[in-house]
Amino acid sequence: MSVLQMQRISICAMKKDRKAILEDLQSLGVLEIDTSAVQDEELMRMDTLESRQAFEKNANAADQALEVLDEYSPEKKSMFASLEGKELIERANYLNVAERRDEILRKTNQIMALKKAIAESKAGIVKLETQKESLTPWLALDVPLNYRGTKRTAVLIGSIGSVLPLEELYQKIAEHVPDLDAVDLQIISVDKDQTCVAVICLKENAAALEEALRTLGFARPSQNVSEVPARQLEKLDAEIAELRQKIARTEDEIRTFADRREELRVFSDYFRIRAQKYEVLSRIPQSGRTFFITGYVPKKKAKGLEDKLEQKYSLSVELEEVSEEEDVPVLLENGKLAGTMEGIVASFGLPGKGEFDPSKVMFFFYIFLFGLMLSDAAYGFIIFLACAIVLKKFPRMAENMQKSIRMFMYCGLSTMVWGILLGGYFGDAINVISRTFFGHEVGLDPVWFAPLDDPMKLLIYSMLFGVIHLYTGLILKGYMCVRDKRYVDLICDVVFWLMMLTGLIMMLLPSELFRSISQMNIVFPAAVNTLAKVLAIGGAVGILLMSGRANKNPLLRIALGAYDLYNVTGWLSDVLSYSRLLALGLATGVIASVINQMGSMLGGGIVGVILFIVVFIIGHVFNLAINVLGAYVHTCRLQYVEFFGKFYEGGGREFNPFKENTKYVDIKEDTRL
Amino acid sequence: MSGIVWALAGAAAAVIFAGMGSAYGVGVAGQAAAGVVTEDPNKFAKVLILQLLPGTQGIYGLLVAFIALSKIGLLGGSPADLSVTTGLLIFAACLPIAVVGLVSARHQGRTSVASIGIVAKKPEQFGKAMLFPAMVETYAILALLISILAINAIPV
Q: What is the pLDDT of residue A462?
A: 93
Residue A581 C-alpha, separation from nearest chain B C-alpha, in angstroms: 10
Burial label, A620 (beta-carbon count in 10 A; 0-12, 13-18, 19+): buried
User: What DSSP string runs through A105-117?
Assistant: HHHHHHHHHHHHH
CA A345 to chain centre: 17
Q: Would you say residue A7 lies in a domain? A: yes
Q: What is the pLDDT of residue A670?
A: 66
| Best mutation target, B22, B44, B56, B74, to test chain A (most A CBs within 10 A) | B56
Report the chain A residue with the minimal C-alpha distance to residue B135: A637
Band (pLDDT 50/70/90 cuts) for residue B1 is low
- Contact call for A633 and B53, based on CB within 8 A: yes
Residue A373 C-alpha, separation from nearest chain B C-alpha, in angstroms: 12
- Contact call for B66 and A590, based on CB within 8 A: yes
Of the listed ranges A178-192, A385-399, A530-544, the one predicted with least confidence: A178-192
CATH architecture of structural domain B3-153: Up-down Bundle (1.20)
Burial label, A554 (beta-carbon count in 10 A; 0-12, 13-18, 19+): exposed
Which member of A347, A591, A594 has the closest CB to residue B126?
Answer: A347
pLDDT over 60 (residue A1): no
Residue type, A348: F
Residue B9 C-alpha, separation from nearest chain A C-alpha, in angstroms: 19
Nearest to A377 by CA among A427, A308, A311, A323: A427
Band (pLDDT 50/70/90 cuts) for residue A671 is low
Same domain, A23 and A63: no
Question: Could you read off the pLDDT of A2-36 as tens digits, one per residue?
Answer: 788 889 999 999 988 888 899 888 888 889 988 87
Residue type, A402: Q
Which member of B53, B66, B144 has the closest CB to residue A583?
Answer: B144
Same domain, A243 and A129: yes
* Residue ranges of domains in chain B: 3-153
Residue A633: its chain B contacts at CB < 8 A? 49, 53, 130, 134, 137
Same domain, A155 and A269: no
CATH number at residue A183: 3.30.70.2750
Q: What is the pLDDT of residue A673?
A: 62
User: What DSSP string runs through A85-105?
Assistant: -PEEE-HHHHHHHHHTHHHHH
- Contact call for B141 and A633, based on CB within 8 A: no
- The residues that bridge with A13 in the sheet, in sequence order, are A291, A315
A435-443 average pLDDT score: 85
What average pLDDT is seen over chain B?
A: 91
Q: Check: CB of residue B44 under 8 Å from CB of residue B37.
A: yes
Q: What is the pLDDT of residue A566?
A: 86
Rounded Cα distance, A625 and B45, in Å: 13
Reduced to 3 states, what is the DSSP secondary structure of residue A164? Answer: coil
Question: Could you read off the pLDDT of A118-155 as tens digits, one per residue?
Answer: 999 999 999 999 988 888 888 888 888 888 888 888 88
Residue B134: its chain A contacts at CB < 8 A? 633-634, 636-637
Same domain, A127 and A254: yes
Q: Check: CB of residue A147 under 8 Å from CB of residue A175.
A: no
Instruction: Enumerate long-range contacts of A428-435, CB under 8 Å, 24 or more apart.
Output: A428/A589, A428/A592, A428/A593, A428/A596, A429/A378, A429/A592, A429/A596, A429/A616, A432/A593, A432/A596, A432/A597, A432/A599, A432/A600, A433/A596, A433/A600, A433/A612, A435/A600
- Contact call for A584 and B141, based on CB within 8 A: yes
Residue A76 vs residue A64, higher pLDDT: A64
Count the Cβ atoms, other than its own, within 10 Å of residue A83: 17
**Alpha helices, DSSP H, located in A335-398:** 335-338, 342-348, 359-374, 377-393
Q: Check: CB of residue B22 under 8 Å from CB of residue B105.
A: yes
Which member of B59, B126, B135 has the closest CB to residue A587?
Answer: B59
Q: Would you say residue A607 lies in a domain? A: no
Range(s) of the domain holding residue A65: 54-75+87-133+234-274
Distances in Å between the Cα of A457 and the Cα atoms of A454, A465, A575 are 6, 12, 15
Same domain, A118 and A150: no
Q: Which residues have a Cβ under 8 Å from the Cβ of A324 and sit 6 or more positions away?
A: none
User: What DSSP string runs through A231-273?
Assistant: HHHHHHHHHHHHHHHHHHHHHHHHHTTGGGHHHHHHHHHHHHH
Q: Which residues have a Cβ under 8 Å from the Cβ of A372 and sit 6 or more positions away?
A: A414, A418, A462, A465, A581, A585
Which member of B49, B62, B128 has the closest CB to residue A347?
Answer: B128
Residue A636: its chain B contacts at CB < 8 A? 127, 130-131, 134
Q: Check: CB of residue A398 under 8 Å from CB of residue A663.
A: no
Distances in Å between the Cα of A251 and the Cα atoms of A69, A125, A242 are 9, 16, 14
- Contact call for B127 and A348, based on CB within 8 A: yes
Band (pLDDT 50/70/90 cuts) for residue B43 is confident
A225-233 average pLDDT score: 85
- Contact call for A587 and B63, based on CB within 8 A: yes
Residue type, A562: A
Rounded Cα distance, A269 and A664, in Å: 7
Question: Could you read off the pLDDT of B138-153 as tens digits, one per residue?
Answer: 899 899 989 988 998 8
Report the chain B residue with the minimal C-alpha distance to residue A631: B134
Q: Would you say residue A436 lies in a domain? A: no
CATH number at residue A9: 3.30.70.240
CA A357 to chain centre: 25
Strongest mean pLDDT among A162-166, A634-638, B92-96: B92-96
- The residues that bridge with A3 in the sheet, in sequence order, are A332
The last residue of one of the domains, among A195, A220, A245, is A220
Q: What is the pLDDT of residue A625?
A: 92
Rounded Cα distance, A538 and A415, in Å: 41
Give, as one character, the DSSP assignment of residue A74: P
Residue A465 vs residue A401, higher pLDDT: A465
Residue A354 C-alpha, separation from nearest chain B C-alpha, in angstroms: 22
Q: Would you say residue A99 lies in a domain? A: yes
Rg (Cα) of chain A, in Å, rounded?
40
Give, as one character, the DSSP assignment of residue A315: E
Q: Which residues have a Cβ under 8 Å from the Cβ of A271 and sit 6 or more positions away?
A: A55, A56, A58, A59, A62, A101
What's the number of domains chain A is made of?
A: 3
What average pLDDT is seen over chain A?
A: 88
Q: Would you say residue A657 lies in a domain? A: no
Rounded Cα distance, B117 and B47, in Å: 9
Rounded Cα distance, A146 and A228, in Å: 9
Q: Would you say residue A254 lies in a domain? A: yes
Distances in Å between the Cα of A237 and the Cα atoms of A119, A130, A146, A250 are 19, 12, 21, 20
Residue B66 C-alpha, separation from nearest chain A C-alpha, in angstroms: 7
Q: Check: CB of residue A55 under 8 Å from CB of residue A274.
A: yes
Q: Check: CB of residue B91 under 8 Å from CB of residue B69.
A: no
Which member of B66, B127, B148 has the closest CB to residue A455?
Answer: B148
Residue B137: its chain A contacts at CB < 8 A? 633-634
Burial label, A311 (beta-carbon count in 10 A; 0-12, 13-18, 19+): exposed
Rounded Cα distance, A619 and B115, in Å: 29
Same domain, A212 and A189: yes
- Contact call for A583 and B53, based on CB within 8 A: no
Give, as one character, the DSSP assignment of residue A655: P
Question: Could you read off the pLDDT of B45-100 as tens digits, one per residue?
Answer: 889 889 989 998 998 998 899 889 888 888 777 788 889 999 999 999 999 999 99
Nearest to A145 by CA among A163, A136, A137, A157: A157
Rounded Cα distance, A508 and A502, in Å: 10
Residue A348: its chain B contacts at CB < 8 A? 127-128
For the question of an ipTM over 0.85, the answer is no
A176-205 average pLDDT score: 84
Rounded Cα distance, A502 and A539, in Å: 9
Strongest mean pLDDT among A277-291, A324-338, B27-41: B27-41
Same domain, A94 and A128: yes
Residue A459: its chain B contacts at CB < 8 A? 145, 149
Of the listed ranges A218-222, A532-536, A590-594, B132-136, the one predicted with least confidence: A218-222
Q: Would you say residue A23 lies in a domain? A: yes
Chain A to chain B Cβ contacts (< 8 Å) = 74
